[in-house]
Amino acid sequence: MKLLEDKNVIITGASRGIGMGIAQVFADHGANVAFTYSSSEAPALELEKELIAKGVKAKAYKSNAASFKEAEDLVAKVLEDFEGRIDVLINNAGITKDNLLMRMSEADFDAVIDINLKSVFNMTKAVQRTLLKQRKGSIINMSSVVGVKGNAGQTNYAASKAGMIGFTKSVALELGSRNIRCNAIAPGFIETEMTDKLDEKTVQGWRDGIPLKRGGSTEDIANACLYFASDLSSYVTGQVLNVDGGMLT
C-alpha cells in the first residue's frame, strides 16, 4: 500500500543521512519530493535522479535553511514547480558543533541555533499560508533525544532541539483548528555521517546504553516520518515520538 500517493513533500537537508533516507522511503510511497541541500550539488542531483526513476516528481534546491529570505524563495519556487500544493514539510536540516560550555564559542552557539532552530521558524512561516489555504498539512520537525534529556558537550545542540519541541507544540496549538498537524521526532543514535565523526569508544558507549543494542538506521526514522506525514496519524498532533531503540525508557 502506498501511503503518500501524489502528496507533495518538502524535506530540508536531504542530500545525505536521515533526510536522504526519508526522501527514498517517501518516493517509494508515491510522494513527490522537493528537497534542499546546502553545499555539495553532486549527491543532491544523484538523489534527484534516483527518486525520479521511482516514478515520482523530484527536485533538488540549493537553499540555506538558516536564511529566512532563502526559505521564502524556496517555497515560492516549490509552489511553482509542484502545481501550487505542499502537503508535508519536514524540517530535517541540522548540524553539530560540540564542545564543553567552557570552550564553546559564541559563533558555534549561534550557528547551531540558526541552522537547527531558526530554520524551523523560517520554513514553517514560509509554508504556513499555503497550508492554511489548503486546510490540510503535516509539519514534522527532526528534534533529538538530546533535546529531551540534555547532553554534556552539546549545550548548543540540546538547546536547539529542545527549542524545536516547544515550537512544535505551539504550532500544533495555533494551527490545529485548520487541520494542520505538527509533530516532532526525537531520534536516538542513528548511524549517519553526523555520527561518523564520533570515536569508536563513544559509539560503543551509545550502543551499550540502548535496550535494542544497536544504532538506528535512516529507514527507522523515515518510517516514523511516514506515520506523521500520512493519514495514519490524522488524529495526532503536538507529539514528540522518540525513535531511539528504547534509549530514554
Ligand X SMILES: NC(=O)c1ccc[n+]([C@@H]2O[C@H](COP(=O)([O-])OP(=O)(O)OC[C@H]3O[C@@H](n4cnc5c(N)ncnc54)[C@H](O)[C@@H]3O)[C@@H](O)[C@H]2O)c1
Q: Which of 94, 71, 132 shows the shortest CA–CA distance to 14?
A: 94
Return the C-alpha cell found at 98: 560540540
Separation between Cα atoms, residue 149 and residue 35, nearest integer Å? 30
Q: What are the start-end ranges of the E strands in 38-117?
A: 58-62, 88-91
Considering only 10-18, 53-61, 122-130, 228-236, which stretch makes contact with ligand X by CB under 6 A?
Answer: 10-18
Q: Which stretch binds ligand X (CB under 6 A): 15-23, 81-89, 124-132, 229-237?
A: 15-23
163 binds ligand X (CB under 6 A): no
CB 12 within 8 A of CB 65: yes
The nearest distance, CB 55 to ligand X, in angstroms, is 24
Which residues are catalytically annotated? 157
CB closer to ligand X out of 12 and 32: 12
CA 209 to chain centre: 24
In 3D space, the residue among 136, 132, 234 whose CA is nearest the CA of residue 179 turns out to be 136
Yes or no: say if 142 and 115 are a contact pair by the CB < 8 Å rule: no
154 forms part of the interface with ligand X (CB under 6 A): no
Q: How many residues in the chain?
A: 249
What residues form the annotated binding site for NADP(+)? Answer: 13-16, 92, 157-161, 190
Q: Which stretch binds ligand X (CB under 6 A): 58-66, 132-140, 174-182, 231-239?
A: 58-66
Nearer to ligand X among residue 134 and residue 155 (C-beta): 155
Question: How far is Cα 45 from Cα 32, in angstroms, rounded to an integer?
Answer: 15
Side-chain-side CA neighbours of 104 within 13 Å: the count stands at: 18
Q: Is there binding between residue 122 and ligand X (CB under 6 A)?
A: no
Q: Residues 19-48 vs ligand X: string with x where CB under 6 A?
A: x----------------xxx----------
Q: Counting contacts by CB under 6 A, is residue 64 touching ligand X?
A: yes
> Does 93 sit near ligand X (CB under 6 A)?
yes
Binding site for ligand X (CB under 6 A): 12-13, 15-19, 36-38, 64-66, 92-95, 115, 142, 144, 187, 189-190, 192-195
